[in-house]
Amino acid sequence: MSPPRHLHSGEAQLRDVAFARSAPTYGRWISWILVLVIGTNLLWLVATNPNFEWQVVLKWFTEGSVLKGLQVTLGLTVVSMVLGTLLGLLLGVWRLSENRLLRGVAGLYIWFFRGTPLLVQLIFWYNLSTLFPALSLTLPWTDITLASWNTNDLITPLTAAIAGLALNEAAYMAEIIRAGLLSVDNGQVETTQAFGMSRSRALRRIIIPQAMRSIIPPTGNQLISMIKATSLVSVIAMGDLLYSVQAIYNRTFEIIPMLMVAVIWYLLITSILNLGQSAIERYYARGTRRVASAPRRAAVAANAQPQQEEQ
């Protein structure tokens, strides 16, 4: 008695898979060799080019003013990211609000800050005193002044940098958060309404925690982008990492080595953040992988059942 046809087809599929795995992948080996040759050649050129002056890079890499600029860069990143995320959360919720006024305000804010360059925004905040020499708190439609401040006293390079970075970041975080909230199943929203939960409580307890799976990975990308965007504050005389190395090469005229100091520090920081982002993405993708693998397990079990019956 000949074996069932589906056994023959299964054996043929196994043979095809085994042949595909054992077949030589010449294209893959050639691509690996090309990449290794080109990459090794580039590394050799960089390492042996005397114009990079690696001894100067090593000398200034951990110098006090450079490390101080690095601290300013990290501090600006943390403060601006926290403020931008909080404001972006508010704007993202407003974008989904049933109130047309809130939707319009949030949309106008996002349109403006995403549509203008960050460098222009930083320069604008730094020169705010040319528009408003003094900032006053007055009663509406009266000349009664409750408090007044000199704009130059309030808008320092630090406050201008934080304002520019945080307000710009809020526009991008608002869209990330809005997309995350939209990724939550509508059934969850309907369930909260059926239980009589208010919209704000449903957001805090149900919707936002579930949306974090879609919000956190792109937020990691924004954090890495923020690290690099802080280099723009050097144009407003803010003593960040780039400004510190610029101040040194303006005295020593060692432009390329000092720029390499900044490049290496930025690469180190972003590499660490990339590792953290990968770990977070794996953590939030665990449930997705389990759900995606369930149908495959069911299909394997269904295919194995007829074979067991034949035996």
Residue 215 pLDDT > 80, yes or no? yes
Residue 310: inside a domain: no
pLDDT at residue 303, as a whole number: 53
Asked if 244 contacts 69 with a C-beta cutoff of 8 angstroms, the reply is yes
Higher pLDDT, 244 or 147: 244
Residue 178: inside a domain: yes
Domain CATH code at residue 146: 1.10.3720.10
The amino acid at residue 101 is L
Residue 6: inside a domain: no
Higher pLDDT, 290 or 63: 63
* Neighbouring C-beta atoms of residue 146, cutoff 10 Å: 8
pTM of the model: 0.77
Q: What contacts 24+ positions apart, CB below 8 Å, involve 5-12?
A: 6/306, 6/307, 7/307, 7/310, 10/307
Residue 192: inside a domain: yes
How many Å apart are CA 122 and CA 128, to the nearest integer?
A: 10
DSSP 61: T
Residue 25: inside a domain: no
Q: Write out the residue range of the structural domain in which residue 170 sits.
A: 54-285
Using one digit for the tens of pLDDT, what is the confidence trace for 83-128?
999 999 999 999 988 899 999 999 999 999 999 999 999 999 999 9
Residue 65: inside a domain: yes
Q: Strand pairing partners for 135?
A: 149
Higher pLDDT, 165 or 290: 165
Q: How many domains does the chain have?
A: 1
Asked if 174 contacts 106 with a C-beta cutoff of 8 angstroms, the reply is yes
How many Å apart are CA 276 and CA 219, to the nearest integer?
A: 12
Smallest Cα–Cα separation from 167: which of 240, 218, 243, 91? 91
pLDDT at residue 297, as a whole number: 54
How many Å apart are CA 206 and CA 184, to the nearest integer?
A: 9
Structure tokens at 120: 């222009």
Element spanning 71, H or E: helix 64-95
Higher pLDDT, 18 or 167: 167
Residue 4: inside a domain: no
DSSP string covering 119-173: HHHHHHHHTGGGT-SEEEEE-TTS--EEEEEEHHHH--HHHHHHHHHHHHHHHHH
Residue 253 pLDDT > 60, yes or no? yes
Residue 293: inside a domain: no
Question: What mean pLDDT is reported for the chain?
Answer: 83
